[in-house]
Amino acid sequence: MSYVVAAIVDDRVAPGFRLAGVRTIEAGEVDPKEAVRELASDPEVGVIILTEDVAEEAKEVIEEIQEEKLSRGEATPIFVTVPGPEGPKEEVEIEEIVKRAVGVEIDVEKIEGQGRS
């Protein structure tokens, strides 16, 4: 099955996502929590991109959805947080990005060690 990428983002970055073919919702026009619920319930949506502000506002809803999907053995949607037009709010390590996106902690050192002979 192929999936659609959707985004709930600031109106200043929305045009760029639209140009890339991403189904885009402008955060200022909707309740971010409701928009997240709506996109997460759409079986065509595989990835939901959120700007940091939107992700923070909808954090509890995102966590509920991830727990519910995980309990049913479903892997989608994957939530990806991107900086807003002002840039990143904080510096985050790749492990934290993966953990936030897929809900699983990884051990990068262990993975890197497996690739060496």
Look at residue 79 and tell me if it is in a domain.
yes
Residue from 13, 46, 47 nearest 27 by CA = 13
Look at residue 115 and tell me if it is in a domain.
no
pLDDT per residue over 12-40, tens digit each? 889 999 999 999 999 989 999 999 999 99
Look at residue 103 and tell me if it is in a domain.
no
Please give the residue range of the domain that contains residue 21. 4-88
Look at the chain and report how many structural domains it folds into: 1
- CATH number of 53's domain: 3.40.50.10580
What's this model's pTM, rounded to 2 decimal places? 0.73
pLDDT at res. 31: 95
Write a three-state SS string for 34-87. HHHHHHHHCCCEEEEEEEHHHHHHCHHHHHHHHHHHHHCCCCCCEEEEECECCE
- Positions in the chain short of pLDDT 50: 117
Look at residue 99 and tell me if it is in a domain.
no
Give ∠ CA 41-70-64 in degrees, rounded to 5. 60
pLDDT at res. 57: 94
pLDDT at res. 84: 75
